[in-house]
Amino acid sequence: MLNEEQEAQVRDYLLSKKLPIDILIEVQDHFISEINNLEREKDLQFPEAFKEVKENWRKDLTLSWKGGFNLDDSTDFMRKMKKQIEKENILQSLKFVIPSVFVIFLVANFCNVYFFQAFFIAAIFLPLLYASINYIRHYKEFRLPKKYQSQFLTLHQNGIL
């Protein structure tokens, strides 16, 4: 079991890798469990176990630029996580977009023009109203990235700046 000083060493190491806070917490848990396993199974002390875990994670946590439009260095691990998050976001949005387009298509073909106009205005206005109300209700959360600009809080942060 690691003491607070050793956990602080792990946290400082991961902070130096410029991981977002949400990913850092997850990776820190993996680091600590791997260090504990090495200490228990191979009878290693903390410095040796920590060094071995750092070496195991070195490839995933090395900052590099892999081309593309973003000029910031990031780790392979962050790129994998970002792709996973983007894929989940696209799939989630398709669950709403496809039925909405289908319903608009049905209303456009089977209802009169006046009903379709009212329906289409509502179909555009209501989601905008919902998003505006949600933004107002959670204003403080939306301002966190601006408040802590020096820290990268989450991989979702790029979408709300």
Tell whether pTM > 0.75.
Answer: no
pLDDT category at 161 given cuts 50, 70, 90 is very low
Domain ranges, ordered by start, for the chain:
4-61, 78-159
The average pLDDT across 121-141 equals 94
Task: Tell me the one-letter amino acid at 35.
Answer: I
pLDDT at 60: 82
Count the Cβ atoms, other than its own, within 10 Å of residue 56: 14
- Over the chain, what is the mean pLDDT? 86
Cross-strand pairs, 74: 64
The average pLDDT across 135-149 equals 82
Mean pLDDT check: name the lowest of 12-16, 35-39, 62-66, 91-95. 62-66
152, with CB counted inside 10 A (0-12, 13-18, 19+), is buried
Residue 26, pLDDT > 90, answer no
User: Can you tell me the distance from the alpha carbon of 144 to that of 60, in angstroms, rounded to the nearest whole number?
Assistant: 27
